[in-house]
Amino acid sequence: MPLRAKVASSVSRTAAALSRAAGRGDGSVIGGWIGLKIDPDLLAHLSAGRAIALISGTNGKTTTTRLAAAAVGVLGRVATNSFGANMPTGHTSALAKAGSTPYAVLEVDEHYLAQVLEATEPHVVALLNLSRDQLDRAKEVAMMAQLWRAALVKHPDVRVVANADDPMVVWAASPPPNHDHRIKPPHVTWFSAGQRWHDDSWVCPECGSTIQRSGEQWWCSGCPLRRPEPQWTVEDDGVVDPTGAWHKVKLQLPGKVNIGNAATALAVAAEFGVRPVDAVLQLGTVASVAGRYAQVERDGRNIRLLLAKNPASWLEAFDMADEAPTLLSINARDPDGLDTSWLFDVDFSPLRGRQVLITGDRAYDLAVRLDVNQVPFQHVRTFDEAVRTAPPGRLEVIANYTAFQDIRAELDRVN
């Protein structure tokens, strides 16, 4: 690397280490921020010489990145932003900290995909899904799909692993009708992981007509856009690869959605030449992802932490959670998005019949939604009170970003 980049990388590592030592955080952002101030091209310099996979989407990025990093690890050392710092500062910090590695698997915030594509020149990009998220500051789903499509057109050599079940993703990964045919379109491998949330993809992004559905199939009623045939699919508790071979997936992570994330990880690893039979063994080594799915024993309660940040992810969280007492915690701080009206897009009826506790900065907003949904609940002011209120045994905790971090900090303090 140029001398300036070497200095920036060294300072980045030092700043991150000091942040960790001072207890100010894991250093996954501050190191990259300082490094990029010294050398704005540091991410590009650190990416050079590595085979890189980028993982982007509204939901499932962090888990899929962790699984894909484990799968690609069959080949050698892998740099990854395992704490979920998914913007260029986080990528820079992760690559600087890892040093020289042949591979990198990076989670990318969907708004930054074009910028990170340009800087890292990846071997493969995985597109998971698109749904509404933090609309008080983020883009509408169709606008996000347009940004992805425009970015991919500029990088025809990148290989794409994309979700065949999401019309917005399929449209983004497909070349536009006026595409210059002298430029080859991206090579796309399609996977099917199941798409339970449909409420952000009823309108065709190409022509504005309605999207029709029947079983797993979907198609536009007004233009040729339709579900492509996936090469990777989920079947029961395993994954079928492009040859038709079925691979049993044994995960420590809960829920069918994580079998889908595993399918994506296997497809990404295959783009690097990793055989599914080798990669699938590594997936079972992942027990927790940045605290998500972690289980903690406290006062006779087995507490499991689940992160849910938008309507689509709450739907999946309900599927993962056991039929047990459940604590819901909602904040509306800057990382969460300040608008909580999305709560009315979540169907909380699966919680009926179990003990439901609510807390967080915006617990009263959640209370109104549960009341409308006819879900009985009890308000508790603190996490400690929630633990005392729940009977011994499993306590499921479902929280959005900062509420999740607050609860993790409380558990870390006590334990």
Nearest residue to 345 via CA among 361, 369, 368, 374? 369
The answer to whether 201 and 171 are in contact (CB under 8 A) is no
| 73 vs 79: CA distance, rounded Å | 9
The type of residue at 49 is: G
The answer to whether 79 and 94 are in contact (CB under 8 A) is yes
| 309 vs 398: CA distance, rounded Å | 9
Backbone torsions φ then ψ of 263, nearest 5 degrees = -60, -40
The type of residue at 414 is: V
Q: Residues near 124 by Cβ (< 8 Å), separated by ≥ 6?
A: 52, 53, 54, 158, 159, 160, 161, 268, 271, 272
Active site residue 339: yes
Residue 210, Cβ density class (10 Å: 0-12 exposed, 13-18 middle, ≥19 buried): exposed
| 42 vs 93: CA distance, rounded Å | 10
81 is in an annotated binding site: no
The answer to whether 349 and 373 are in contact (CB under 8 A) is yes
220 is in an annotated binding site: yes
Residue 115, Cβ density class (10 Å: 0-12 exposed, 13-18 middle, ≥19 buried): middle
The type of residue at 267 is: A
| 54 vs 65: CA distance, rounded Å | 8
Radius of gyration of the chain (CA): 21
| 409 vs 415: CA distance, rounded Å | 10
The answer to whether 73 and 50 are in contact (CB under 8 A) is no
207 is in an annotated binding site: yes
The answer to whether 124 and 65 are in contact (CB under 8 A) is no
**Mode of pairing for the β-strands spanning 246-248 and 238-240:** antiparallel
Among candidate residues 136, 278, 334, 339, the one labeled active-site is 339
DSSP 226: B
How many of the other CB atoms lie within 10 Å of CB of 232?
Answer: 23
SS3 assignment for 110-158: HHHHHHHHHHHCCCEEEECCCCCCCCCCCCCHHHHHHHHHHHHHCCCCC
Q: Could you list the active site residues? A: 339
- Binding site, by residue number, is 204, 207, 220, 223
- Binding site for Zn(2+), by residue number, is 204, 207, 220, 223
